[in-house]
Chains A and B, each alone.
Chain A
Amino acid sequence: MKDMELIEEMLNCYIDGELDERKSNEVKRLIDNDSQIHSLYDSLKRYKNLMDTVCQVPAPEGLCDNITAHLEREVLLADTQIYSLKAGRRHLMARRLMTAAAVIALAAVLFVVIFDIFVPKSSRQQLLSNALRKKTIKQVLYEKPFADTKQQEDIKIVPQNSYDVPLVVILALKTNNPIEVDWLVAKALTTTDLFNQTAAIDRQSGAVRYVINCNNQSLISLIQELSFIWPQCTDTKIDIGTEQAGKYITVNNISARQVMEICKAENFGQRLRMANDLAIINKLTTPAIIDRLYAAVDIDYDLLVTQKPALTSTEKTQTAGQPSNDIKNATLTIIVISK
């Protein structure tokens, strides 16, 4: 099949006179010797002759004139100075722009007229109002609920001033020398100028009760003065008032230093925790051991007490105000009991 195509190609070249002498002779010999190729050659030759008979059509009249006129028009346009001068070009541009503007204006007028004719009045007003309405920003709450509001920073809240809750202390001292202890208490009250602030002194057989209303600082000073009494005492006990009236935390075998520590507590909560801790510790150990422990190591009680985590809320910080010396926010009841 491919050979036949090649032979046909060769025969066409032979008919068109495109072969050199050697190849031409070869093809001629092939045509003479092979009847099939001869037949094909004859057929091709006949088609070739037929195509050659197709006559040439004369070119349309005035073709040359048309071409020269076309060229001449272009030459004339190129030579016209209006297109080469700057002012001319500007003028041409202005004319073009004006034409474009006129066309746009005409189109706009046509649009308005068509709009007016075909669009109903109600739809027209709705369309116009929609077109004139300003774009509103859509607030998609579920996507960005707090996007535009600045989140407030957490503010540390300091627990309420401990001095707001009055310090109620009932100190019970059991002694073999009640007269001496009584005298020493009276002396301590005098020394600390708290004798005048003593609300009540109740002397009964076997027991004397002092009720003193003072501020916290004075109370600490008083306890410091009373520390001399402790060696005279056989048993000591303290009751720390809680928020609930009539309910106390009792700490047995309490030392003067422990009382002072409790009184120095920064706030009501710390005071209660300290009282609880000391109640447990004192149950396990003797007061002497604790005193020795305190003496040996200068323990800051704060180290023994776990700090509460700082609470947070949106309220502003409230700093704990220092207790005024004038405010009597502590009540100390000293009971001296004879053994």
Chain B
Amino acid sequence: MTQYILRRLLLMIPVAFLVTIGIFVLVRLAPGDPVLTYAGEDKDPATIAYIRAQLGLDEALPVQYAAWLSKALTGDLGRSFQTKQRVIEAITERLPVTIELGLTALLISVVIALIVGTLAAVKRNSVLDLLSTGFTLAGVSFPNFYLGLILILVFAYIVPGRIFPPGGFVPFTTDPFENLRRLVLPALTLAAASTAVNLRQVRSSLIDAFGQDYVRTARAKGLRETAVIARHALKNALIPVVTIIGLQVGAIIEGAFITETIFFVPGVGRLAVQAIPAQDYPIVQGVVLFSAVSFMLSTLVVDILYAVLDPRISYESAKA
């Protein structure tokens, strides 16, 4: 097992290396001279040359890349052009907010998908099944930013008493109730699309499992239907679901960019979106790098989890 994890980590290195080159090139492609942004009002050529040298932008591109990479590996992603705050600090101080939102969305998505997906598979072709199929079709096609606006309109402005506020964030440590109240709408918005994908996967995996011999055997030996579903069918059907849920981490990271913007949630996604028009490239670069690394690690965790859950997948064969 350890060998398998190590091997997967080693395979990640060249890909991560290419990812860093990609991000570096993207930032260098960006329009405008970051030195001019950094210099602000001071347009004195000597000052500009000094800042250029200080930022290392007078070196050849490969040298600049090597310098940036060696700093990035130690967690030094530079400083924001706007606030002069260290990029790593800007990200880490907003990270708990994004993680809380992402985990809540993932939890909503998984719980709804498991309950509704199981019921839809058990009561195939029922009204619930048809409704869930309709939801899965609509869920993957509905733009989450429009869904967010509909939720704000309904719950913050139309329904009397403003059950849920239109946006903002209160830390859990300050006021747990208000924190959760403000989290409901953004989490639902973020969860919608991944719920649709997960629900579809749970339903079709379970329907596949119901046709398997081990389920027929379980029924034939007289087990109650709930036991057949929970202990046999669902347990095996969840293996492919784990992969799909893992892949939803990427959807949740990208969804956070939009959801945090709509609901004024001070997370990592909103940090990047605000940095784009301000041409604050170190922030954009840092957040994109952070997103890519998180996505790669989540994919790795899913692969490992998949191997743990499914005894048919052996680490030895995975090496081949």
Do they bind each other? no
